[in-house]
C-alpha cells in the first residue's frame, strides 16, 4: 500500500516537473527562434527572384544604393521610437562593423546582383546556400582552425554540389557559356563575403542591440554605395522603370535588408550555431520554389542533384557535434 502511494507521488511529481513554467518557456523560446530563422531564410531565398527583376531594370550600384536608402528610411523611425536613435559605439566596434558591412553589404550585394545578370535565380539560390561550408573555410583562414573529418566531408559535398549546379562543365561533356559560368562564380564570391559577414557578428559587442546593428549596417551600406549610385543615377532614365521593378527595389530594402536581418539576429541569438546552420537549407528550397513559380524557370536534373548534395552538406555540418580546438 505504501509502495503504491509512493509510486503515485513520484509520478505526480514527474508530471509537475514536465509542466514547469521554465520548461514551457524553453519550448516557446526554441519555437520562436525556429520561426524567426525560417522566415529569414525564406526571405533570403526570395531575394533571388526579386534580384532577377531588379537586374533587368536598374544598374547594379544604383539598385544597391536605392536598397539601402529605403532600408535606412524604414529602420530609423523604428530605432527612434524604440531606442531613441543610434547609440554610440566604440572605435573598435565601428571598424569591425565597417568591415562586416563591406563583406556582407557591399561585396555580397554587388556579386549577387551582378551574378544574376548571367545566371538563373535557381542556380543562384543553390550556390548561396553553401554558406556554412564556406564559413568553415573562412574560419580556417582567419583563425587557423582546421576543419575536422565531418567538416571536410561537408566541404567535399558542397564542392561536388556546386559543380553539378554548373552543369558539370568541362567534366562530362556538358557545355556552359562563359558568361553563365562567370555569373555562377560571382555567386560563389558572394557566399565568401557573406561568410565573413556572419563570422564578424561574433566580434561585435552584444551591447549593440539587433535593431541598432541593423540600423548601422543599413547606414554603412548606404554610405559605401552612395558615390557609385550617384554616378549611375545621373545618366539613368527613371521614367522607364516599371511598377514591378520599383516594387522589387522596395522589397529588397524594406523586407530583405531590414526584416530578414531582424529575423535572423533574433533567431540566432537564441540557438546554437549548429542549429542555426540547419535552417540555411531553407534558403535554396525557397529560391528554387519561388523561381519556378514566379520566373517560370525549370529545374534540371543536374541542378536538383547539386541542390541535394548542398542540403546534405549543410545538415551534416550543422548536426555534427561541436569540435573543441586543442
> What pLDDT, on the 0 to 100 scale, is given for residue 171?
44
Q: Can you read off the three cell numbers belonging to residue 35?
A: 520561426
Cβ count within 10 A of residue 78: 14
- Is 229 part of any domain? yes
- Residue range(s) defining the domain that contains residue 154: 36-319
> What pLDDT, on the 0 to 100 scale, is given for residue 151?
64
C-beta separation of 303 from 126 below 8 A: yes
- Angle at which helices 121-128 and 301-319 cross, to 10°: 20
- Is 25 part of any domain? no
- Is 276 part of any domain? yes
- Is 312 part of any domain? yes
Q: Can you read off the three cell numbers belonging to residue 27?
A: 519550448
Give the SS3 label for residue 205.
coil
Query: Could you give the CA distance from residue 219 to residue 19 in angstroms, rounded to a whole number?
Result: 46
Task: Show the low-confidence residues of the chain (pLDDT under 70).
Answer: 1-23, 122, 125-126, 129, 132, 135, 139, 142-148, 151, 155, 158-159, 162-163, 165-177, 198, 201-202, 272-275, 277-278, 281, 303, 314, 317-326
> What pLDDT, on the 0 to 100 scale, is given for residue 227?
93
Dmax (CA) for the chain in angstroms is 92
3-state helix, strand, coil in the chain (%, to 5): 80, 0, 20
> What pLDDT, on the 0 to 100 scale, is given for residue 91?
83
Query: Could you give the CA distance from residue 15 to residue 27 in angstroms, rounded to a whole number?
Result: 16
Q: What confidence tens digit (pLDDT) does each residue in 76-100 have?
A: 888 888 887 777 888 888 888 898 8
Measured between alpha carbons, how far is residue 4 from residues 16, 66, 157, 249 in Å?
18, 72, 56, 69
Q: What confidence tens digit (pLDDT) does each residue in 209-219 have?
A: 888 888 888 88
> What pLDDT, on the 0 to 100 scale, is given for residue 172?
45
C-beta separation of 61 from 228 below 8 A: yes
Count: domains in the chain:
1
Q: What confidence tens digit (pLDDT) does each residue in 107-145 have?
A: 888 888 788 878 777 677 667 767 767 767 776 776 666
- Is 64 part of any domain? yes
DSSP state of 271: S
- Is 264 part of any domain? yes
- Is 244 part of any domain? yes
> What pLDDT, on the 0 to 100 scale, is given for residue 169?
47
Q: What confidence tens digit (pLDDT) does each residue in 155-165 have?
A: 677 667 766 76
- Is 19 part of any domain? no
Amino acid at each position: 500500500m505504501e509502495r503504491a502511494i509512493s509510486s503515485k507521488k513520484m509520478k505526480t511529481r514527474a508530471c509537475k516537473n514536465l509542466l514547469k513554467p521554465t520548461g514551457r518557456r524553453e519550448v516557446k523560446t526554441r519555437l520562436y527562434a525556429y520561426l524567426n530563422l525560417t522566415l529569414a531564410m525564406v526571405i533570403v531565398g526570395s531575394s533571388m527572384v526579386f534580384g532577377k527583376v531588379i537586374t533587368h531594370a536598374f544598374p547594379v550600384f544604383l539598385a544597391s544604393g536605392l536598397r539601402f536608402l529605403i532600408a535606412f528610411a524604414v529602420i530609423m523611425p523604428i530605432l527612434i521610437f524604440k531606442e531613441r536613435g543610434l547609440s554610440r559605439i566604440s572605435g573598435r566596434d565601428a571598424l569591425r562593423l565597417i568591415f562586416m558591412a563591406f563583406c556582407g553589404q557591399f561585396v555580397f550585394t554587388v556579386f549577387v546582383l551582378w551574378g544574376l545578370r548571367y545566371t538563373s535565380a535557381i542556380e543562384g539560390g543553390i550556390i548561396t546556400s553553401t554558406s556554412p561550408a564556406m564559413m568553415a573555410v573562412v574560419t580556417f583562414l582567419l583563425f587557423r582552425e582546421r576543419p575536422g573529418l565531418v567538416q571536410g566531408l561537408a566541404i567535399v559535398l558542397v564542392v561536388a554540389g556546386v559543380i553539378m549546379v554548373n552543369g558539370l562543365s568541362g567534366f562530362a561533356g556538358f557545355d556552359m557559356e562563359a558568361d553563365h559560368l562567370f555569373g555562377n562564380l560571382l555567386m560563389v564570391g558572394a557566399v565568401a563575403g557573406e561568410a565573413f559577414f556572419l563570422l564578424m557578428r561574433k566580434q561585435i559587442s552584444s551591447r549593440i542591440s539587433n535593431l541598432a546593428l541593423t540600423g548601422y549596417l543599413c547606414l554603412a551600406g548606404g554610405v559605401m554605395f552612395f558615390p557609385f549610385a550617384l554616378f549611375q543615377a545621373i545618366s539613368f532614365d527613371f521614367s522607364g522603370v516599371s511598377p514591378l521593378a520599383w516594387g522589387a527595389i522596395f522589397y529588397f530594402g524594406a523586407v530583405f535588408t531590414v526584416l530578414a536581418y531582424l529575423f535572423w539576429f533574433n533567431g540566432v541569438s537564441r540557438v546554437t550555431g549548429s542549429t542555426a546552420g540547419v535552417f540555411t537549407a531553407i534558403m535554396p528550397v525557397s529560391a528554387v520554389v519561388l523561381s519556378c513559380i514566379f520566373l517560370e524557370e525549370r529545374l534540371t536534373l543536374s541542378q536538383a542533384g547539386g541542390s541535394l548534395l548542398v542540403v546534405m552538406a549543410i545538415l551534416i555540418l550543422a548536426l555534427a557535434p561541436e569540435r573543441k580546438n586543442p
